[in-house]
Amino acid sequence: MKTFETVRVDLGDRGYDIHIGSGLLDRAGELMQPMMKGARALIVTDAQVAPLYLERVERSMAAAGLTPMHTVVPAGEPTKDFAHLEALLDAMLGAKAERGTMVVALGGGVIGDLTGFAASILLRGVDFIQIPTTLLAQVDSSVGGKTGINTRHGKNLVGAFHQPRLVLADTAVLDTLPRRQVLAGYAEVVKYGLIDDEPFFTWLESNAQRLIDGDSEARAHAVAVSCQAKARIVSADEREGGVRALLNLGHTFGHALEAETGFSDAMLHGEAVAIGMVMAFRLSAEMGLAPAADVERIIRHFQAVGLPFALPGGRLWEVPRLIAHMAGDKKVKDGKVTFVMARGIGQSFLTRDVPEASLATMLAEMAAGR
Ligand SMILES: NC(=O)c1ccc[n+]([C@@H]2O[C@H](COP(=O)([O-])OP(=O)(O)OC[C@H]3O[C@@H](n4cnc5c(N)ncnc54)[C@H](O)[C@@H]3O)[C@@H](O)[C@H]2O)c1
Ligand SMILES: [Zn+2]
């Protein structure tokens, strides 16, 4: 019986399905069965997720006649580095991984990015499956094939495009996710409405609270719409030559804030992106591109659900430093930053023509708490 939704990512022979629904963990074995080249599967998860969900996934795989093995790595962003990548590859080879072994990423974006990258280079590339367990991973990082690690030069600077063979998003696992993490992931959900789907933003205005509080129908709908949006954009531009950059709405600003706060728990990625999206719309309004009423509408919504929309006080935000971080972003081309700006909610576009004076004015106002 099919009790879940499926979104297809159309990439020819690298295309794949994203299944979304409550309770999918218990069907993982059956659903991954058609993608298997052999019986062996190597699950990679983190120390936080392992005690919660590893056994259920292994049980379901064994019931489908598969042979699951697992490796558990520490939870958290610091795990996405060269040292843990090396240890993980060693563990995979130690477990006698073969070309036909399926690698399974069970966890949030950290596990998906690290495991996907390891799969892309293990034995010159093996297949992998994503079982995302955070809202952020379900609506964003598990879809689209970007994998990678951080280096001392910055985040996500070493990696590969490696599409998964399947994504299983079990919305029930979000019940154990701390509320702050749910909200941070929700920022990426709102992003899809702001990029090019005003009706979805309107739906979120009435349904976001249900979704955040745990309503499984609202969650499944929001995850499905988000995955459809990302799938559509990725299918049109897999390697980010053009429209895929729209997915960076709020991110150039957000990355600058994350860099200033040391990529720490002081500001989660989704929190930085929420403030960054407000910045993108304020700048668009100040340049006369977008109606000021849309900025107000976004801020009202963020306020209602509990997402940040202003720069937190208690620290000095220096405008030149923020601008320097933006200029160092990897999306820079020929020294010019590509901005995602908007003509209104659901009408975002790419431009490299943002006067530095307008940018500085907007940042100075935000830094002054205005
Ligand atoms: N590849 C991409 O396209 C892409 C896109 C966006 C973000 N990312 C990356 O994703 C990462 C952030 O992902 P994240 O926010 O999922 O962080 P994460 O993987 O660190 O997960 C957040 C925390 O939640 C815990 N956790 C995970 N699932 C849980 C559950 N169901 N119940 C309880 N706890 C759970 C984790 O152990 C961790 O402590 C960043 O490294 C970012 O660069 C990648
Ligand atoms: Zn993001």
In short, whether 156's Cβ falls inside 6 Å of ligand 1 is: yes
Write the pLDDT tens digit of every residue in 137-172: 999 999 999 999 999 988 899 999 999 999 999 999
Q: Is pLDDT of 289 > 70?
A: yes
User: In angstroms, what is the span from residue 155 Cα to ligand 2's centroid?
Assistant: 12
> What's residue 197's pLDDT?
97
Which segments of the chain does DSSP mark as H helices, in order? 28-32, 55-63, 82-94, 109-121, 135-136, 179-196, 198-213, 216-236, 251-260, 269-286, 292-305, 319-327, 356-367
Mean pLDDT of 270-299: 98
Write the pLDDT tens digit of every residue in 235-278: 998 888 889 999 999 999 999 999 999 888 899 999 999 999 99
Q: How far apart are CA 347 and CA 357, in angstroms?
A: 24
What are the φ and ψ backbone dihedral angles of 158, each rounded to 5 degrees?
-125, 125
Sorted by sequence, the CB contacts under 8 Å of residue 198 that are 6+ apart come out as: 344, 345, 346, 347
> What's residue 327's pLDDT?
84
Q: What is the pTM of this model?
A: 0.96
Task: Give the confidence band of 175 by pLDDT, cuts at 50, 70, 90.
Answer: very high
3 state DSSP class of 351: strand
Strand (E) or helix (H) holding 240: none
Closest-CA residue, ligand 1 atom 34, reads: 177
In short, whether 46's Cβ falls inside 6 Å of ligand 1 is: yes
User: In angstroms, what is the span from residue 307 Cα to ligand 1's centroid?
Assistant: 18
* Residue ranges covered by each domain of the chain: 5-176, 180-367
Considering only CA atoms, which of 109, 127, 138 is closest in space to residue 34?
A: 127
In short, whether 337's Cβ falls inside 6 Å of ligand 1 is: no
240 a catalytic residue: yes
Strand duo 102-107 + 67-73: pairing: unpaired
Write the pLDDT tens digit of every residue in 70-123: 999 999 999 999 999 999 999 999 999 999 999 999 999 999 999 999 999 999
156 a catalytic residue: no
Q: Is pLDDT of 330 > 70?
A: no
Write the pLDDT tens digit of every residue in 13-41: 999 999 999 999 999 999 999 999 999 99
User: Which residue has better confidence, 240 or 308?
Assistant: 308
Measured from the Cα of 116, ligand 1's closest atom is: 1
In short, whether 120's Cβ falls inside 6 Å of ligand 1 is: no
In short, whether 134's Cβ falls inside 6 Å of ligand 1 is: yes
Question: Token digits for 182?
Answer: 């749910």
Does domain 5-176 match CATH 3.90.1150.10? no
Closest-CA residue, ligand 1 atom 6, reads: 141
Q: How far apart are CA 188 and CA 211, in angstroms?
A: 14
CATH H-level superfamily of 180-367 = Dehydroquinate synthase-like - alpha domain (1.20.1090.10)
DSSP class of residue 336? B
Task: Give the confidence band of 334 by pLDDT, cuts at 50, 70, 90.
Answer: low
> What's residue 153's pLDDT?
85
